[in-house]
Amino acid sequence: MSDTLRHLAVCLATALILMSPGIPRVNAREMVAFSGYAPGMIVGKTGQRRLYYVVDDRRALRFPVGVGRVGMAWSGSARIEGKYVRPAWPPPDMIRAENPNLPEVIPGGAANNPMGAAALTVRGGEYAIHGTNRPASIGGFVSHGCIRMYNSDIQELTGL
């Protein structure tokens, strides 16, 4: 099966699952019990494909996210260094090598800009927690290390 057909099959299967009654949708953010972290911290759980925003010493908002592919998942701790609305995206060299036709910079708000509505950056902009132009990717191991969120969720997280 060609990559295009495989991608189409995955997209169709995802659409059918999301439209099926009785199956929980991946886009449900919710308040959950969560402890061990200070209020205001953002905690990513790669294996769960969830991000937690710690509200107080007992609770956090839990969001579904897309995370790094095998071998590309970000780990560690870092401070949020930047907050951007509709950020432009200069594809890193590794991604440009995979997709040589990408422009040097994709303008913020462009349909092909993977950063979505907003972004929080860490490690000098090397990684980001950002929105997405591909909402079907939420819940998967899909990125080159960044954490993808629904645009409405990153807007809530950033207070936009």
Residue whose C-alpha is closest to residue 87's, from 52, 119, 59, 135: 119
Question: Beta strands 82-85 and 127-130: pairing type?
Answer: unpaired
146 is catalytic: yes
Cα distance between residue 51 and residue 22, in whole Å: 24
Contact 10, 40 (CB under 8 A): no
7, 11, 144, 146: the active-site residue: 146
Counts of helices then strands in the chain (DSSP H, E): 3, 10
Cα distance between residue 60 and residue 78, in whole Å: 19
Cα distance between residue 108 and residue 113, in whole Å: 7
7, 11, 130, 144: the active-site residue: 130
Residue whose C-alpha is closest to residue 60's, from 49, 73, 75, 44: 44
130 is catalytic: yes
Contact 157, 120 (CB under 8 A): yes
Q: Which residues are catalytic?
A: 130, 146
